[in-house]
Amino acid sequence: MSLLDVFRWYAGIDLLGIAARGETGTLASRSFGDINHATLSGYTPLMLAVLNFHEESAFYIINQFASLEVDRTTNEHNSALNFAAHTGQATIVLALLNRGADPNNANVYGKGPLFAAWDGWYNCRKRANTDPVACAGYEAAFFLLLRHPKIVVDMRDIDGSTLLLHAAYNDDDAAVRALSEKGADPRASNNHGNSAAKFHRQ
């Protein structure tokens, strides 16, 4: 490892804290650092910016660091796109998709960004007295991902369940309708022989 590599490595560590704190102005002065430097759990500066809701810093990293590995994942195989979808940050979801992020990146549970967005949207709507506007980010993220030309609508989780099955089981008519219009298979069975068609009939 050269002296320059060592310098970039330490600068990468610095970038983790800068991104987590949302110090966008400081990011520009650390452009020589390794933007893909990760914690022991695999969290990168971009992921920390997203999880801490520092939108400006996330946008800066996405748009200004040519060396960004947009599909880098944590030890549980979550990418920045998984996290953006999970937290309902639709504008970051769009920016990541435009940068070429994989819309089908599955974590260790077999769940991708589309599932993450749906899960947030569903639970947000189920909360008592929730302002509908509060769920708008999740909804927008869900439809951005659903309409992506490369989305695998019938992706299965580790239980063999598709998102349509989850939506049908939870009586989420809005998601069932949207997924069905995209071509999701209601007859796709999971490891226990259950399908969306079974729950929808009930």
Quick one: three-class SS letters along the chain? Answer: CCHHHHHHHHHHHHHHHHHHHCCHHHHHHCCCCCCCCCCCCCCCHHHHHHHCCCHHHHHHHHHHCCCCCCCCECCCCCEHHHHHHHCCCHHHHHHHHHCCCCCCCCCCCCCCHHHHHHHHHHHHHHCCCCCHHHHHHHHHHHHHHHCCCCCCCCCCCCCCCCHHHHHHHCCCHHHHHHHHHCCCCCCCECCCCCEHHHHHHC
Work out the pLDDT band at 127, boundaries 50, 70, 90: confident
- pLDDT tens, residue by residue, 13-47: 678 888 888 988 888 776 667 899 899 899 999 99
Tell whether the model's pLDDT for residue 2 goes beyond 80: no
**Which CATH code of 1.25.40, 3.30.1490, 3.40.50, 1.10.10 fits the domain covering 1-69?**
1.25.40
Instruction: State pTM to two decimals.
Output: 0.90
Round the average pLDDT of the chain to a whole number and report it: 90
